[in-house]
A and B are shown apart, each in its own frame.
Chain A
Amino acid sequence: MSEPLLKVENLKQYFPISRSYTVKAVNGVSFEIYPGETYGLVGESGSGKTTIGRSVIRLYNPTGGRILFDGKDITGKLDRPTNEMLRANMQMIFQDPMASLNPRKKVADIIGEGLDIHHRYASRQDRADQVSEMLKKVGLSPEHAARYPHQFSGGQRQRVGIARALIMNPKLIIADECISALDVSIQAQVVNLMKDIQEETGCAYLFIAHDLSMVKYISDRIGVLHLGYMVEAGTKEEIFEHPIHPYTRSLLSAIPHPNPEVEKRRKSVSYDYAASGIDYAKGAERLVSGTHTVLATPEEFEDWTSR
């Protein structure tokens, strides 16, 4: 494969709460995203998946580790050209489409804001053309440009959010729980749209979600997070067909299948970190096969793989 588009090495993100107490949200996570692929991050709330997304796009200043985007180091203080490169090439789609769109701006100005900042148009007409083309691409009509966000339904608002991210023609889009707030039938529409756009523009996605079945559907590779550690990572086949880590197993067993006869008889596997005797800090990343890695001590690794 070619050079990775995004390389996260040993990322640490701590939040000091008081002099004696620090929340360690992300504890040394590493992963890579290649151009044009979708990387899914899954985990329960509090596992640090959103924090990773926000650290990568530099809404937070990482406490430790290195993030390389397109070969450039984007940790530490950013100089102007790097900052501009980062802002144009990495975009984010947020969870709540109502809270992430400015209610006082028209859709044309929400979508066109990136163009304004980076001076990416020749004339007003050119800007309007770009905006209406983007609206068409996400399945809205150009007339929608003159409307305000409150005049749209949830699914349409999320399309506006996608259009806003896409207009900069980014190389990487961070989608943070971007479909969780939508209805089932609308979720499918938005996910299909994201897949179509990826095929057309070749952008990569960092897809953050807690809905495993959707993650499986959209992602090429998956990382499973728990308590700020990447406990297991691999391609979606590796993760879904041969889960090794007990946490991944419990996560997979918890997904309800839309199959009543089976579902009625199935019990989920429970996993209690405190009672399991596993200490994530002692484990190291071990290769299972191919690209499949798991966080474990040598004894744990032996135990889990022999099952």
Chain B
Amino acid sequence: MSEEAKTILDIKNLDISFRTNAGVVHAIRGVNLDLRKGETVAIVGESGSGKSVTMKAAMGLLDSNATVNSGEILYTFTDESGREQTVDLLKLPKKQLRQSINGQRIAMVFQDPMTSLDPTMTIGKQIMEGMFLHKGMSKEAAHARALELLTLVGITDPEKRFRNYPHQLSGGMRQRVVIAIALSADPDILICDEPTTALDVTIQAKILELIMDIQQKMKLSVIYITHDLGVVAKVADYVDVMYAGKIVEVGNVNEIFYKPKHPYTWGLLSAMPDMDTDDDRLYSIPGSPPNLLHEPEGDAFAARNQFALAIDEKLDPPLFKVSETHYAATWLLHPDAPPIEIPKELKARIARAQREVEKYL
């Protein structure tokens, strides 16, 4: 985590809406995000908060009914001749995006390994496909590289597995194959969209450790999209908390877990059953996320927020600065706001977490 690491992906003021039969859904409402080389950013939020859509925009995978109203996604890379280039992925023609960016420089791992693999092709063929397309490798070279990748992702007996079909592998093995495919063209950025949601806990831990390990070996930048805060704690350097198409809090992982500022983050953290609580009731955020078909006035979270102020109903809060890396969009941080403390259950939990850290070190 060096300070001077270069920003390689910079999303600026992204705004996307979808035309649906019921009307226009304003799914992304001004998202800013940056990713530096070698770092891991986690985007956390409930379903429908827009975390997947943001990353799909970067991959050019938006559905045909989507409109990008404003914003840019700047991607900086070093091209073949060694020159540094910055392109706006949203302005790039689709064809060029497919040929030179997708899979080659930015690769994605999807949630369900069964639906992202082709059931009619052997896994070896699927791994080599990208190498033929993007790198123009010879068959022998690609074969050797594919075996190397299978070993890298922890598959034993790669020669034999090379000729297997996806249905012959277990869920965890399949996800390893998907990761091998994503790595086949040496990408700069790996986007993992809920990579372990469909897997068992024991396998989840192994896959996450594998991705972390590979990230170090290959100097990858990784973006995780997840709703599991436990996963975030394990892998992330920086965390972006999304709610209703906006980033409501951003900070490094310790700031988000030990000094959260936004009431939504408080809610998310308290709603997680932790292994040491013996509380009778689990804290839950009341209500459900807003329907973005009718865009809420003011702060989208106000209706579910027990600490909401009068201004929350009228004006959307800007991002207030907490520290160099930590920002939160809540009026509670405004100098004129009444002093509101973190709920005491959460405070106790954070104190407990910090004691655990001391014990551990």
* Residue ranges of A at the interface with B (Cβ–Cβ < 8 Å): 44-45, 153-156, 183-189, 191-192, 195, 210-214, 216-217, 240, 250-251, 253-268, 270-271
Stretch of B19-27, B137-145, B281-289 with 4 or more beta carbons under 8 angstroms from chain A: B281-289
What's the dominant secondary structure at chain B's contact region?
helix
Is A183 within 8 A of B46, CB to CB? Answer: yes
Q: Which of B201, B233, B273 contacts A251 (CB 8 A)?
A: B201
Is B204 within 8 A of A254, CB to CB? Answer: yes
Tally the A-B contacts, defined by beta carbons under 8 Å. 130
B250 close to chain A: CB less than 8 A: no
Stretch of B56-64, B117-125, B223-231, B320-328 with 4 or more beta carbons under 8 angstroms from chain A: B223-231
Q: Which of B205, B271, B284, B357 contacts A256 (CB 8 A)?
A: B205
Q: Which of A44, A154, A184, A217 contacts B277 (CB 8 A)?
A: A217
Is A216 within 8 A of B360, CB to CB? Answer: no
- Chain A contacts for B236, CB-based, 8 A: 260
- Chain B contacts for A192, CB-based, 8 A: 281-282, 284
* Residue ranges of B at the interface with A (Cβ–Cβ < 8 Å): 46-47, 171, 200-206, 208-209, 227-234, 236, 253-254, 257, 267-269, 271-275, 277, 280-286, 288-289, 353, 356-357, 360-361
Is B275 within 8 A of A184, CB to CB? Answer: no
Is A185 within 8 A of B46, CB to CB? Answer: yes
In this complex, what residue of A is CB-closest to B291? A153
Is A213 within 8 A of B200, CB to CB? Answer: no
Query: What is the CA–CA distance of A192 and B254 in the complex, to the nearest angstrom?
Result: 29
In this complex, what residue of A is CB-closest to B212? A264
Query: What is the CA–CA distance of A263 and B234 in the complex, to the nearest angstrom?
Result: 5
Taking the closest CB of chain A, its distance from the CB of B203, in whole angstroms, is: 8
Is B205 within 8 A of A268, CB to CB? Answer: yes
What's the dominant secondary structure at chain A's contact region?
helix
- Chain B contacts for A195, CB-based, 8 A: 280-281
Query: What is the CA–CA distance of A256 and B42 in the complex, to the nearest angstrom?
Result: 15
Query: What is the CA–CA distance of A56 and B163 in the complex, to the nearest angstrom?
Result: 41
- Chain A contacts for B253, CB-based, 8 A: 260
Is B234 within 8 A of A264, CB to CB? Answer: yes
Do A44 and B357 contact each other (CB < 8 Å), given the known contacts A185-B285, A191-B282, A257-B275?
A: no
- Chain B contacts for A266, CB-based, 8 A: 234
Taking the closest CB of chain B, its distance from the CB of A245, in whole angstroms, is: 13
Is A251 within 8 A of B234, CB to CB? Answer: no
A-B pairs, 3 with minimum CB distance: A256-B230, A188-B284, A268-B205
Is A257 within 8 A of B201, CB to CB? Answer: no
Q: Which of B203, B274, B284 contacts A257 (CB 8 A)?
A: B274
